[in-house]
Amino acid sequence: MATQLNAHARNIECSEEEWQARRELAACYRIFDHMGWGESIYNHISVRVPGEDNSFLINPFGLLYSEVCASNLVKIDIDGNTLDGSPHPVNKAGFVQHSYFHRHVPWAHAIVHTHTTATMAVCSLEGGLQPVNFYACNFIGKLAYHEFEGITVRAEEGQRLLANLGDKRILMLKNHGPVILGRSIPEIFIQHWSLQRACEVQMATLAMGQPLRVSDEVVAVHQRDLAQGQVPGKLPGQGDFEAWTRRIDKIDRSWRD
């Protein structure tokens, strides 16, 4: 059933499922802004439109994350066609990268790429993320790496991005920043939050001296037991995402419009 939704002087028509996806994605942008994970008008978070495998929602190019709301997200297909009459353009670098993964990775319903100082620093470090702290142990053996080729605006780079991703869910773009793929927005949120913490602590540790490395055996035990740290009855990241959504609601509810 289609619903007419009017916000910020733009009428859009979409299903209830799409509207909920719009709200969840808008909340994610506001949470990232609150965390300080924005990068001026750049970087991008996207989510597939429910029931429409060839279309996804992404931020309007030119707006800060603090300006993103449910109604001004851009609905675009994997061939680059705007589907919802949005007057806003889409960042070409974001489209090339996200459309390729949405097209070729069936389980990648949500994708985020950021340029935070900590994650970029680790992506620029020989050896990348190291097993030197609690959060880093979440990711050891689970990260893929891709050589820097400049700004991601050439479609042919997508083939190498996909090949280097392999069977992983996080692709560390060397000298650049991470791309995190997941089954849902809460999942990519908690993965980004944990990766950010891992990188922040690694930066601080290396600045102080020689780090203590965790053994492969302990890393394996840590990863085996990680699921026991989730909120019972909730999907990965769901409890965290709901908590941070409540937090931004207390600051500004305009993301819901």
Q: Read off the pLDDT of residues 32-44 as tens digits, 9 standing for 90 and up.
A: 999 999 999 999 9
Three-state DSSP state, 134: helix
Radius of gyration in angstroms for the set of CA atoms belonging to the chain, rounded to a whole number? 18
Q: Read off the pLDDT of residues 123-158 as tens digits, 9 standing for 90 and up.
A: 999 999 999 999 999 999 999 999 999 998 898 999
pLDDT means per 10 residues in the chain (257 residues)? Answer: 41 89 98 98 97 94 97 94 92 89 96 98 97 98 97 91 97 98 98 98 97 97 93 92 97 95
Q: What is the pLDDT of residue 182?
A: 98
Residues sharing a CB contact under 8 Å with residue 167, sequence separation 6 or more, in sequence order: none
Angle formed by the axes of helices 185-208 and 238-249, nearest 10°: 90
Q: What angle do CA 255, 90, 105 make, to 5 degrees?
A: 90
